[in-house]
Structure 1
Amino acid sequence: MKLASYADGSRDGHLVVVSRDLTQAHYASGIATRLQQVLDDWGFIAPQLQDLAVQLNHGKLRHAFPFEPEKCMAPLPRPHGWAVVGADGSVRREAGQLLGAGMPLRAAAACEPALMAIAGDLHAASDTAAALDALRLLGLAVDWRLDSELLATHAAPLLVTPDELGEAWTGVRLQARLVALHNGSKLEPRDVVAAPADALVRLTRLRAQRTGQLAGVALGALDVALAPGDSLRLDLKSTDGQTSLFGAIDLDLTPPAA
């Protein structure tokens, strides 16, 4: 299933289920209103959301409406933590708030995409099998850094259960294509492989993990020079470049003041 949080004036947004083709959505109000509720009681609530997703995908929900990514906040705006694991095993602990995919960036910064993973509770020193069993949702996030200082983290609008990713998910790792548009011009696509369970295991070597904490797998910095007034669109797609897995991060760099 695919989940998003529509902005509604609250700090956490309102949970919606999104169709497989990203065209339709339905409020999850009768089941849960916030994603953290789902994570806290996954075994009971997730099957109900899955049933709703099946009905939505089959066109059986009378109150479905067109999905509008621009209305989304980050799917989990206030996680309990956000840590990114680099290719060398290093861990960066980041800010605890995620911004929606369309929130403007206030300053030119280095762009560092990451596969984002949410798991259930994990004991300290958990192994890969336990991490895979606890894995709940995957998404896309981007850290923005200026002189190594974190300025902001943006999240793509959707969090997705691994089974929804089709051939992009091998059961252990994600195989995808990172596609970027800078001021409307396509940059060279990058094929990426990311193993979220390995990142979760690495984090449990430091401490136990609780549901609502986010683990990131660094996908390598994007080599692009941004300037005020620029636009940048980032999307993780299936390896053929045709299917968006988590929706796009589509933002503008605030232009200089007049």
Structure 2
Amino acid sequence: MKLATYKDGSRDGQLIVVSRDLSTAHYASGIANRLQQVLDDWNFMSPQLQDLYDTLNHGKPRHAFSFDPKQCMAPLPRAYQWADGSAYINHVELVRQARGAEMPPSFYTDPLMYQGGSDDFLGACNDVVCASESFGIDFEAEVAVITGDVRMGATPEQALDGIRLVMLANDVSLRHLIPGELGKGFGFLQSKPATAFSPVAVTLDEFTTGGESAWDKGRLNLMLQSTWNGRKVGRCDAGPEMTFHFGQLISHLCKTRNVRAGSIVGSGTVSNKDWSRGYSCIAEKRAIETIQGGKATTDFMKYGDTIHIEMKGRDGLSVFGAIEQEIAPPPLVVGQS
């Protein structure tokens, strides 16, 4: 099934069920008002939502309405936890090679992960508001999962059972702020503003077409498309080159603590060794330019730039809807010129 959260003037929005083709929707208020309620009581509430979803796809619910992605908040507008991995080692290799840094052997066996802000996510069509273009504004096209409860010490295989929903993410990075923060030895903070997520989050069964599933043991074997200012810059395969699958990422996260329902785990920038597939973030494009020609020539994003991130299923239909954002300056404060 496909779930989304509509704006209703509150911080947490209103849960809706969305049809498979993303054309119509129905409020889930008769079952649950918020997605977090469903995640907390998944076994009881998800079958009821599935029934509503089936009716929406095959029948004519009395109160169905046209689905509008612009009315969506993030599927989970604020979460108990947002932990983003770097599961595509090719991306790490390129960035480090461009700056002449060695790849520590542990990077191939132990996932990289940081904990980001989870109190203020962006909807798929919200502007990316940034105080200055000089910060080096970059998009990062990713896949992410929302979990149920996963106990401390869970194996990767056990962790896979904790995945409830999948969605896309634009994990915005401010590249010119990153070196100073990492130089302190304490990780990202100001360089990682609010993350945006796709209009809908979907259950794993949605990836099955014609008896075959694009979901394969924690990897999603579909193409992630990134379009910057109307030009397609990336068509990257999210599956085969994902060094650490989602079960491994979640297991890494819960090595020393429980992971509770409503936690979000990201894949990191989707990246392929075949450079002809393009890129899912500008930093990778700049790394390739440096490796090939000695310097980066592609600038980071400017005010007015747009980014479109989308993934289509094997049937050619959009799976999650599209992330469509514009880079914008902060609004002027009254009395400011």
Answer whether TM exceeds 0.5 for this pair. Answer: yes
Give the structure 1 partner of residue 322 of structure 2: 248
Contact 2:227 2:234 in 1 (8 A): no
Contact 2:141 2:226 in 1 (8 A): no
Match runs of 1:25-64 below 5 Å:
25-64=25-64
Q: 1:187 aligns with which of 230, 233, 239?
A: 233
Q: Is 1:158 the equivalent of 2:197?
A: no
Give the structure 1 partner of residue 85 of structure 2: 85
Higher helix share: 2
How many equivalent pairs are there? 257
Query: Which string of whole-angstrom CA distances, capped at 9 and with x for unpartnered residues, describes residues 150-186 of structure 1?
Result: 1221111111101112232124321111112222122
Distance 1:230 1:50 in 2: 38
In structure 2, list runs of 5 or more residues that go unmatched: 88-106, 179-190, 271-279, 286-299
Aligned CA RMSD, in angstroms, stands at 1.9
Q: Is 1:168 the equivalent of 2:196?
A: no
Contact 1:145 1:152 in 2 (8 A): no
Distance 2:327 2:269 in 1: 22
Give the structure 1 partner of residue 95 of structure 2: none
Q: 2:163 aligns with which of 122, 129, 135?
A: 135
Distance 1:23 1:235 in 2: 16
Distance 1:216 1:59 in 2: 35
In structure 1, list runs of 5 or more residues that go unmatched: none
Distance 1:20 1:34 in 2: 20
Give the structure 2 partner of residue 222 of structure 1: 281
Task: Give the TM-score taking structure 2 as reference length.
Answer: 0.72
Task: Give the TM-score taking structure 1 as reference length.
Answer: 0.93
Distance 1:115 1:133 in 2: 17
How far does residue 199 in structure 1 lie from its aligned partner after superposition?
1.2
How far does residue 255 in structure 1 lie from its aligned partner after superposition?
6.0
Higher strand share: 1
Contact 1:191 1:239 in 2 (8 A): no
Contact 2:15 2:29 in 1 (8 A): yes
Query: Which string of whole-angstrom CA distances, capped at 9 and with x for unpartnered residues, describes residues 114-154 of structure 1?
Result: 21111211111101232122211111111111122112211
Q: 2:309 aligns with which of 231, 234, 237?
A: 234
